[in-house]
Structure 1
């Protein structure tokens, strides 16, 4: 189908209908400093196809990819081995070209896949029900907060100091449009999560408490006392999981009575991909299912008694009245959800537990080796495959120096929390099944040399 651009009279007619004088009026909410006042500077206006290809290839070579170096980055995006069969299967035409199953009679394969995905996610998170995916972990976190407001009719959310700052940032951005009050603080370099401080903040105006598990520093805590405290004030507990492989080894948040459990599914089936696309996970207790955003696929039988699948709940504005919609999210993480589901199917429960054990054992060995370096302190009392080190100097320059040596050493807290001097020496290190003993020794030797 040919693309026919709009004419100037077409544009003027559309602007008149919506009451805008010019196209620029549509961008008034974008800060002026973020708007272009002309073409992008230093970018040529045109070039040949071959010239562009050469230029883009040269730019790509500047990247140091995860598979080319000892890799210890984490903080919400993890390098795991994705079986080749995952990529092969998601490229089958019936999956790759399917957008969204509006016509169930011709989308049974996609619907069945989403049904299986929901089952896997619900079992993984320990919830009664799960939806058919969200955009990513951060948007799923915000959707959980606004869902808690709908349920409790309250507008104050308490966000744990250990919640990923990017998730906090997304929530703060969205709260500007809803009026929700978000109580946030920064983490401290201490061995344990400060749940008592969270519990002390819960009052009659609290809609929910949001806690990451394991948290941004890799710490793990029993969430049951926090859940009890929330429920005593008729508030909800929202648990955020950024590393789903951890749930192969530790108790799921749903088992600890969390009301809503959300997370990032990238670790399973989805590569790092320089930041996306990823896939958000969302589960909750059965009694809240009608307030859950996104789509829910269900199983049924057709007129002949044969097993079939349908969209059981689709509470977004495209399906129902806009004022009744719970969200506009859920259409474009389907392929990533498929990759997640295939990887989970290949692993099975036993395989996931084994994978989790390998991750944890590798992280324990790395933590022991790195904490032997003079001046380096291990913060965590507990962790899964990610832990925090306190260096004797600021971590950001150390990370840059190691990157120049071809070692991606971890995530400096100074990068995540700029201007926070008490966190500047913190370094979050992640270890997965792809990390070798040689990788750990390479990092340890280089780090010790830099700090000497």
Structure 2
């Protein structure tokens, strides 16, 4: 924060700007705003502070926050405390990359386009899909764009089935998109900690555009994607898999298991938690859906001299083609964070990603075992990644307050999503040490029993 400064305008600066645009008074700029809706008088604000005073005040306010660098962090639920290689910030802060958006003059943005091209390649390889676009706003946006695609692709469809094992915020986003597009969202129950196949079979019909499942799911458990795909054989219904890209370092690729669309969020690779965002969504499909993919695809070509170059191969959004032909009217892109994640993945390499994923598996299972030894009930019946759910006897809000006083950031209240009271979702990434986990288990045993 101390490296950035806001440079205010002086009275002389303001006057020169007004003269430049041919206006005498700043209020003349607002002449089109009806007088009856304008605010009269000055706003009730404290006096302006000097730069030093302002920095001191905002630093004091920021110090009231608890961050993962201050206390061991056991909260996941969609945003995770992963290590970020130092090289990530060193590169994304270079001025030629420092834009949060995608280039609109691609011919003069070859470095940016190459970075996005490489990112697409990594996503396609990691997910086992044929191709990927150059990113979306976040993971939940990507899920909803996937259901929109399915609705437009599967004729005479009017609904999507979405597992209750999918993140609740993703379900809400799909429901909102569906309302606008004209399709319904119907939830498929979970049985124990994964999607109930029998409930899925009962709800499948010719009107279902897609089935959405998360892998690993919201409760950390690994869904049986192959079994779910088997239920869709012989139908036009698409399978959408919402996958944690880090978990794919150890799990089978969704494309191999039969996914038609694989989406998710690359936050686990090189993107800070930032109090919940911003993140960066990815979107990968099979060849048959290539021309219905939202946002843009960066392609490789050669110029008239035979030199390698990069271009926008497909730009299917309303700003590039006729509105009625667009695949999406909302396909914002997080190009800077796509770059950050590609740098992180490159820094780790294939073997490094596998090792990182295994460390997350090991830590989560170690933490679960220690809790079981203390008498806690772990509700996961299937293999899980870096999250799992525990049954508590006390109110989770009160438990988390008590844990905070003991120096820990606790887990997430997953009671509503799981369908039981006091269900506690805990996360243990590669950053959690054995000592931290042992201390957390002891603290939780004190405050929750």
TM norm. shorter chain > 0.5: yes
Alignment-derived partner of residue 374 in structure 1: 375
Alignment-derived partner of residue 29 in structure 1: none
Alignment-derived partner of residue 448 in structure 1: 445
Partners of 1:401 and 1:99 lie apart in 2 by: 41
Alignment-derived partner of residue 172 in structure 1: 175
Alignment-derived partner of residue 49 in structure 2: 48
Alignment-derived partner of residue 248 in structure 1: 249
Quickly say closer, same or farther: Cα 1:245–1:98, change in 2 above 3 A: closer
| Equivalences, count | 424
What does 1:54-93 align with in structure 2 at a 5 Å threshold? 54-93=56-95
Alignment-derived partner of residue 187 in structure 2: 184
Question: 1:160 and 2:157 equivalent?
Answer: no
Q: Structure 1 unaligned runs (5+)?
A: 13-20, 25-36
Alignment-derived partner of residue 7 in structure 1: 29
Alignment-derived partner of residue 228 in structure 1: 230
Q: Secondary structure at the match of 2:269?
A: coil
The TM-score, its normalising length taken from structure 2, stands at 0.88
Quickly say closer, same or farther: Cα 1:309–1:147, change in 2 above 3 A: same
Alignment-derived partner of residue 147 in structure 1: 149
Listed one character per residue, the Cα deviations across residues 409-450 of structure 1 (whole Å, up to 9, x for unaligned) are 211114x65xx8x42311111111100001111110001111
Partners of 1:183 and 1:94 lie apart in 2 by: 45
Listed one character per residue, the Cα deviations across residues 37-65 of structure 1 (whole Å, up to 9, x for unaligned) are 999x9x83553245443332222111110
Quickly say closer, same or farther: Cα 1:124–1:405, change in 2 above 3 A: same
Whether the 8 Å CA contact 1:193–1:221 is kept in 2: the answer is: yes
Quickly say closer, same or farther: Cα 1:166–1:192, change in 2 above 3 A: closer
Q: Structure 2 unaligned runs (5+)?
A: 1-12
Whether the 8 Å CA contact 2:214–2:241 is kept in 1: the answer is: yes
Partners of 2:261 and 2:201 lie apart in 1 by: 17
Greater gyration radius: 2
Alignment-derived partner of residue 210 in structure 2: 208
Alignment-derived partner of residue 319 in structure 1: 320
- CA drift of 1:166 comes to 0.7
Whether the 8 Å CA contact 2:126–2:248 is kept in 1: the answer is: yes
Point out the more displaced range, 400-409 or 357-366.
Answer: 400-409
Alignment-derived partner of residue 430 in structure 2: 433
Quickly say closer, same or farther: Cα 1:38–1:148, change in 2 above 3 A: farther
Quickly say closer, same or farther: Cα 1:11–1:251, change in 2 above 3 A: same
Whether the 8 Å CA contact 1:132–1:296 is kept in 2: the answer is: yes
Listed one character per residue, the Cα deviations across residues 355-389 of structure 1 (whole Å, up to 9, x for unaligned) are 11111111111110011122433433310111111
Whether the 8 Å CA contact 1:367–1:378 is kept in 2: the answer is: no
Partners of 2:90 and 2:123 lie apart in 1 by: 22
Whether the 8 Å CA contact 1:392–1:425 is kept in 2: the answer is: yes
Whether the 8 Å CA contact 2:221–2:382 is kept in 1: the answer is: yes
Whether the 8 Å CA contact 2:190–2:196 is kept in 1: the answer is: no
Quickly say closer, same or farther: Cα 1:150–1:304, change in 2 above 3 A: same
Listed one character per residue, the Cα deviations across residues 122-143 of structure 1 (whole Å, up to 9, x for unaligned) are 1111110100000000110100
Alignment-derived partner of residue 354 in structure 1: 355
- CA drift of 1:255 comes to 1.1
Quickly say closer, same or farther: Cα 1:160–1:98, change in 2 above 3 A: closer
Alignment-derived partner of residue 265 in structure 2: 264
Whether the 8 Å CA contact 2:388–2:426 is kept in 1: the answer is: yes
Quickly say closer, same or farther: Cα 1:356–1:23, change in 2 above 3 A: farther
Q: Secondary structure at the match of 2:231?
A: helix
- CA drift of 1:406 comes to 1.9
Partners of 1:318 and 1:426 lie apart in 2 by: 45
Alignment-derived partner of residue 344 in structure 2: 343
Whether the 8 Å CA contact 1:135–1:280 is kept in 2: the answer is: yes
Alignment-derived partner of residue 298 in structure 1: 299
- CA drift of 1:290 comes to 0.5
- CA drift of 1:22 comes to 9.6
Whether the 8 Å CA contact 1:399–1:412 is kept in 2: the answer is: no
- CA drift of 1:335 comes to 0.3
Whether the 8 Å CA contact 2:188–2:196 is kept in 1: the answer is: no
Quickly say closer, same or farther: Cα 1:344–1:307, change in 2 above 3 A: same
Q: Secondary structure at the match of 1:58?
A: helix
Pick aligned residue for 1:423 from 404, 420, 425: 420
Alignment-derived partner of residue 200 in structure 2: 198
Quickly say closer, same or farther: Cα 1:97–1:283, change in 2 above 3 A: closer
Partners of 1:321 and 1:23 lie apart in 2 by: 36
Partners of 1:296 and 1:152 lie apart in 2 by: 23
Quickly say closer, same or farther: Cα 1:157–1:194, change in 2 above 3 A: same
- CA drift of 1:11 comes to 4.8
Question: 1:334 and 2:356 equivalent?
Answer: no
The TM-score, its normalising length taken from structure 1, stands at 0.88
Question: 1:105 and 2:102 equivalent?
Answer: no
Quickly say closer, same or farther: Cα 1:291–1:97, change in 2 above 3 A: closer
